[in-house]
Amino acid sequence: MRLEDNKIFALDKIPSELDIFVVKFLKILEKYVDYVIISGYVSILLGRTRATEDIDVFIKPMKKETFSEFYKELVKKDFWCLNGESEKEILSYLEDGLAIRFAESGNYAPNFEIKYPKDDLDQETFGNYLTVVLKIGEIRISSLERQIAFKKYYLASDKDVEDALHIEELFKGKIDLEKVNKYRELIKLRRNL
């Protein structure tokens, strides 16, 4: 893997079934809205071997008409929503700050957990992301510094800390430690609110 100009080139990576699922879903999603993948799948995409049931993604708020088109295409392409039955209900979850989940029909996992940013710190993800270039497509992920900080200082489970350590080791010398510390401080502020 090579990091260069806000892109991670992973053209030699053999895509897993999970990668194929992610790219298939994102090809639909990106037609309708900007997105950034966050959390566990990022470390998996970057070579860490572990399982996950969901792919967490922030999307920008959508107009009702745009969401309707997005939802109809998902259904047409054989996806279903795990936590809602009607288009109106599913959109209302997003608008109420809740996540919605989509998987391929007949499956519960893996699934996409889609949510709107809840504050400025989440919103900032859209201005500071990387693109991972695979043979099968491109995937936008949160910055490495953000990923490390949130894994180490916000989520902080053993699995999350190991995810952060994997990214730090993989991109040793290319991580902006000042940015990691900036995110750490912002995370502390968020917890105190």
pTM to 2 decimal places: 0.94
Examine residue 185 and state whether it is found in any structural domain, yes or no.
Answer: no
- Say if 187 falls within a structural domain: no
Neighbours of 142 (CB within 10 A): 25
* CATH number of the domain bearing residue 16: 3.30.460
The pLDDT, as a whole number, for residue 191 is 79
The pLDDT value given to residue 68:
98
Closest CA to 121 of 37, 44, 183: 183
Position 23 in a domain: yes
Q: Does the pLDDT at position 145 exceed 80?
A: yes
The pLDDT mean for the chain works out to 96
Greater pLDDT, 109 or 191: 109
Is the residue at 98 inside a domain?
yes
Q: What is the pLDDT of residue 193?
A: 66
Report the C-alpha gap between 154 and 134 in whole angstroms: 29
Residue 146, pLDDT score: 96
pLDDT at 192: 78
> What's the rounded mean pLDDT across residues 165-177?
96
Expressed as residue numbers, the domain containing 106 is 2-143
Does 106 fall in a domain? yes
Residue 154: HSE in the Cβ half-sphere, 13 Å Cα cutoff: 22
* Whether residue 6 has pLDDT greater than 80: yes
Q: Domain for residue 183, yes or no?
A: no
Structural domain total, the chain? 1
* Proportion of the chain above pLDDT 90, given as a percent: 96
pLDDT of residue 190: 84
Residue 97, pLDDT score: 96
Pairing relationship of beta strands 54-59 and 111-115 according to DSSP bridges:
parallel
**Would the pLDDT of 86 be above 80?**
yes
Tell me, yes or no, whether 150 lies in a domain: no
In a domain, 163, yes or no: no
Mean pLDDT within 133-143: 97
Question: What mean pLDDT comes out for the span 93-118?
Answer: 97
Residues 141/147, Cβ–Cβ less than 8 Å? yes
